[in-house]
């Protein structure tokens, strides 16, 4: 997940604040649904759990962003004060949940994705909750098999390489071509051990290249691939796109990033759709939560259209709700991959740590 461009400069400074407002988005836009819709959706979410109230600690990644008015409407109608706890990127988030499961960091979590879901499930950090929100039926399409009551899908997106159109006006090289010396020092990615997009892309290379995936990474190391700890470092600092001015014309991001780099009606970046891995993010009640009723209400609120419609503009991802509106320009500038790369969840569960260790030994050691 990602912070918005306007928040990049201030996200680090405010990520530890606990407040009844947005944590990582500076000057957020109002919800596309408007104040009335936000209030109505909040009422629907809170009515499902009549005993909810008090403080709910929402444990999430450091890219979580929601407009002030949408959060305030939910808090006003539910009687809940949302306190944000943000230990880091999604990978760090899950690791911290496992390490602290006997003394949970909070009551509810948002931001566990399909590359780390099995770790959270297997370590018993989640409590059962079957959401009654209207969009729960849509969320079920993205459910983790066997854990439908533990994790509720909230959003999805395609993780893939993005490129600077000024550098590659005729299109980007293929995945296999990136190992050519002509592209030396041009690619920045994130570490799969610390970043969920990094893990998703590592899995994409395994899916695309099969047994040769580590050979590709070894060649990329020799071709001076840059590895950062987080998506924001790769995208906001390294990308050579006009809005950032870094020195890497190919960076790891999302298929939904390019609409936010359109200048005067013209795109400046594009996604390499043949490198995409479909990522799904989930929410769930934490085992041992101090306020489980409030936690359930928050999960239901995350499925409300009041929240769902903020996702594209604030976190650059698609809402799972079929009734939530998506910006019109996404059809032109943020198409999803027609055939995203996938890895069987059972294989991820069985080999994740092994693959990360192999990647680390190949690329970093």
Q: Each residue of 259-269: pLDDT tens digit?
A: 999 999 999 99
Task: Render the burial of 312-340: b for 16+ CB within 10 Å, e for the rest.
Answer: bbbbbbbbbbeebebeeebeebbebbeeb
- Single out the residue of 282, 280, 281, 295 nearest to residue 127, CA to CA: 295
The lowest-confidence range among 4-8, 72-76, 250-254 is: 4-8
Q: Retrieve residue 329's tokens.
A: 């320009």
Q: Is the per-residue pLDDT at 324 higher than 90?
A: yes
Q: What is the pLDDT of residue 194?
A: 83
Coarse DSSP helix, strand, coil percentages of the chain, rounded to the nearest 5 percent: 40, 20, 40
Q: What is the pLDDT of residue 37?
A: 45
Each residue of 63-83: pLDDT tens digit?
899 999 999 999 999 999 999
- Assign 89 a pLDDT band (cuts: 50, 70, 90): confident
Distance in angstroms (rounded) separating the CA atoms of residues 232 and 2:
7
- Assign 271 a pLDDT band (cuts: 50, 70, 90): very high
**Which position has the higher pLDDT, 322 or 7?**
322
Q: What is the pLDDT of residue 354?
A: 96
DSSP 255: T
Q: What is the pLDDT of residue 51?
A: 63
Q: What is the pLDDT of residue 185?
A: 98
- Single out the residue of 200, 191, 178 nearest to residue 255, CA to CA: 200
Query: Mean per-residue pLDDT for 277-299?
Result: 97
Each residue of 227-250: pLDDT tens digit?
999 888 999 999 999 999 999 999
Distance in angstroms (rounded) separating the CA atoms of residues 149 and 162:
35
Beta strand 126-127 with 187-190 is unpaired
pTM: 0.78
Q: Is the per-residue pLDDT at 280 higher than 60?
A: yes
Q: What is the pLDDT of residue 192?
A: 93
Helix or strand (DSSP H, E) at 35: helix 34-47
Mean of all residue pLDDT scores within the chain: 87
In order of start, what are the domains of the chain with their CATH numbers? Answer: 5-156+279-330 (3.40.190.10), 158-277+335-363 (3.40.190.10)
Give the C-alpha distances (Å, rounded to integers) separating 18 from 58, 81, 84, 85, 167. Answer: 10, 10, 5, 7, 42
Percent of the chain with pLDDT over 70: 86
Query: Mean per-residue pLDDT for 301-311?
Result: 97
Q: Retrieve residue 327's tokens.
A: 């910006």
């Amino acid at each position: 997940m990602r912070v918005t461009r306007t928040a990049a400069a201030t996200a680090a400074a405010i990520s530890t604040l606990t407040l009844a407002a947005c944590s990582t988005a500076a000057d957020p836009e109002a919800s596309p649904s408007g104040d009335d819709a936000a209030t109505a959706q909040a009422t629907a979410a809170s009515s499902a759990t009549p005993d909810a109230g008090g403080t709910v600690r929402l444990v999430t990644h450091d890219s979580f962003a929601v407009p002030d008015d949408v959060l305030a409407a939910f808090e006003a109608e539910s009687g809940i004060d949302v306190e944000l706890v943000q230990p880091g990127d999604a990978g760090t988030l899950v690791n911290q949940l496992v390490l602290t499961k006997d003394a949970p960091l909070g009551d509810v979590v948002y931001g566990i994705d399909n590359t780390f879901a099995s770790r959270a499930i297997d370590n018993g950090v989640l409590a059962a909750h079957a959401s009654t929100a209207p969009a729960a039926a849509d969320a079920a399409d993205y459910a983790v098999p066997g854990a439908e009551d533990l994790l509720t899908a909230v959003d999805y997106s395609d993780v893939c390489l993005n490129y600077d159109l000024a550098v590659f006006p005729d299109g980007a090289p293929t995945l296999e071509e990136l190992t050519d010396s002509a592209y030396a020092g041009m690619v920045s990615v994130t570490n799969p051990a610390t970043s969920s997009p990094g893990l998703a892309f590592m899995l994409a290379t395994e899916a695309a290249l099969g047994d040769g995936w580590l050979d590709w990474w070894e060649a990329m190391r020799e071709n001076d691939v840059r590895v950062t700890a987080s998506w924001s470092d790769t995208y906001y600092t390294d990308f050579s796109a006009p809005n950032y001015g870094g020195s890497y014309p190919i960076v790891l991001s999302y298929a939904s990033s390019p609409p936010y780099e359109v200048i005067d009606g013209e795109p400046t970046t594009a996604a390499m759709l043949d490198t995409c891995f479909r990522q799904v993010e989930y929410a769930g009640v934490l085992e041992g939560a101090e306020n489980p009723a409030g936690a359930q209400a928050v999960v239901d609120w995350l499925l409300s259209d009041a929240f769902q419609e903020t996702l594209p503009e604030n976190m650059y991802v698609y809402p799972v709700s079929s009734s939530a509106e998506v910006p019109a320009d996404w059809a032109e500038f943020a198409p999803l991959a027609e055939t995203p790369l996938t890895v069987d969840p059972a294989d991820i569960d069985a080999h994740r740590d092994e693959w990360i260790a192999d990647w680390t030994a190949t690329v970093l050691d």
